[in-house]
Amino acid sequence: MFLPSLDIVDGIDGVAALSASFDSRIMAWEKAEPEDLLGPDRLAERTLVVFGPEGGFDDREAEKLQTNGFDAVSLGNSILRWETAAIHTLSLALYSRERRT
C-alpha cells in the first residue's frame, strides 16, 4: 500500500533539514527550464517534492534548496494552485510506482 505523507515544517530551513532523509529532492519552480518537466521517471522511492508559496520561491529560498540537493523542475506553463500541483505530483508518483512493480 502506498500512502504519501505531508510534513509541516518551519520555513525553508526546516525543509532543508527534512530533506536529508529522502532519496530524491525536487522543487517545483516557476523559473525552471520549461523543458525540464516533472515526470514519473524523476521520482525515486522516497522523493520530497516542494511547492513554493503564492508568488513563487524568492531567490534565497531557491538557492537554499538547490544547495541542499533539490533539482528544479517545471510543472508546465499553467499556473497551478498548490493543491492542484500536489494532486498532479501524487498521480505521477502512483504511476511511477506501478511502472517499478
Per-residue pLDDT of the chain (101 residues; tens, 9 = 90+): 667 777 778 889 999 999 999 999 999 988 888 889 888 888 888 889 998 888 888 999 999 999 999 999 988 887 788 888 888 888 888 888 887 76
C-alpha distance from residue 71 to each of 31, 41, 42, 47, 101 (Å): 12, 13, 10, 11, 25
Q: What is the pTM of this model?
A: 0.82
* CATH among 3.50.50.60, 1.10.510.10, 3.40.1280.10, 3.30.565.10 for 11-100: 3.40.1280.10
